[in-house]
């Protein structure tokens, strides 16, 4: 289930979101040891969307109800106002928030068109800029493809088509070795989704995917949440990573219950 991979990626990625040592030994550092590990807004909103879609409750209402319980989970400024404000209206965002919360859509819907429509719907309540929509649709589609047995090359080709090399500075066409020296911390969909998918593309299992995320000075919890669901679905689980132990330890009871519902 892609949501597990996304939430786990958020928890582990959070170690280095704002506190990544320049000389981080990303290949060998313990996967989880830093005091900054823990779930963030990515997990809260991922699970809010899951709850709304499973129960049929109103999407915005569920995001607001659950979101307000975790006011310090790291929301961006405009999203914080959206969650806390009296009225919830889309604000034309292209931030990576639409991509980081959409994994359940890729996991839940079997019909391709319905999956893409729902990905767009979960984005559009806030991120109604074309890049905000695209980030969510691409992320859900990659999960759907992994879940339906598509090859890594097919997933790569799809992402490349959506983020061509000539138009996107962090297109999936660029290797991690190429972008590592020039990647700048970035919270846009277009600066996060193709690079996060590249982290998956160059991985050989779930853990090596996360280590690829560690290798970039990036919005690492969100990279983990965006492509963590793809990695989990593609590799069929987490290998040696004690996913259930970590999820149980770090999530609140309420969030864990949604995760396994």
- Which of 63, 155 has the CB closer to Mg ion? 63
- Select from 107, 120, 131, 221 the one that contacts Mg ion (CB under 5 A): 221
Tokens of 163: 């983020």
- Cβ distance to Mg ion smaller for residue 78 or 152: 78
In the complex, least distance from residue 248 CB atom to Mg ion, rounded to whole angstroms: 20
Give the separation between CA 38 and CA 40, rounded to whole angstroms: 6
42 sits near Mg ion (criterion: CB under 5 A): yes
Q: Binding string, 44-83, against Mg ion, x = CB under 5 A?
A: ------------------------------x---------
Judge whether 106 and 144 are in contact, CB under 8 Å. yes
Residue pair 212/203 in contact (Cβ under 8 Å)? The answer is yes
Q: What kind and span of H or E run contains 37?
A: none
3-class secondary-structure state, position 202: coil
Which one-letter DSSP state was computed for residue 104? H
Cα 154 off chain centre by: 20
Residue 78 neighbours by CB under 8 Å, 6+ apart: 91, 93, 95
Task: Give the nearest distance from C-beta 11 to Mg ion in angstroms.
Answer: 10
Minimum distance, C-beta of residue 14 to Mg ion, in the bound complex (Å): 7
Binding status of residue 40 toward Mg ion by CB under 5 A: yes
Residue number with CB closer to Mg ion (40 or 212): 40
Min separation Cβ 221 and Mg ion, Å: 4
List residues near Mg ion by CB under 5 A.
40-42, 74, 221
């Amino acid at each position: 289930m892609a949501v597990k991979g996304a939430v786990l990626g958020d928890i582990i990625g959070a170690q280095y979101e704002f506190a990544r040592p320049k000389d981080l030994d990303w290949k060998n550092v313990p996967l989880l040891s830093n005091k900054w590990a823990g779930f963030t807004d990515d997990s809260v909103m991922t699970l809010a969307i899951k709850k709304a879609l499973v129960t049929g409750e109103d999407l915005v209402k569920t995001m607001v109800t659950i979101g307000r319980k975790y006011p310090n989970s790291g929301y961006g400024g405009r999203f914080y106002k959206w969650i806390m404000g009296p009225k919830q209206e889309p604000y034309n965002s292209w931030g990576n928030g639409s991509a980081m919360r959409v994994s359940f859509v890729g996991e839940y819907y079997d019909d391709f068109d319905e999956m893409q429509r729902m990905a767009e719907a979960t984005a559009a309540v806030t991120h109604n800029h074309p890049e905000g929509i695209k980030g969510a649709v691409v992320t859900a589609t990659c999960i759907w493809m992994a879940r339906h047995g598509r090859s890594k090359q097919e997933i790569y080709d799809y992402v490349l088509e959506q983020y061509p090399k000539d138009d996107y500075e962090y297109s999936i066409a660029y290797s991690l070795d190429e972008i590592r020296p020039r990647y700048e911390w970035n919270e846009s969909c277009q600066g996060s989704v193709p690079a996060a998918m590249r982290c998956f593309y160059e991985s050989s299992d779930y853990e090596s995917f996360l280590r690829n995320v560690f290798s970039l000075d990036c919005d690492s919890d969100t990279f983990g949440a965006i492509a963590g669901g793809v990695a989990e679905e593609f590799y069929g689980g987490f290998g040696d990573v004690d996913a259930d132990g970590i999820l149980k330890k770090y999530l609140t009871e309420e969030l864990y219950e949604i995760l396994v519902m």
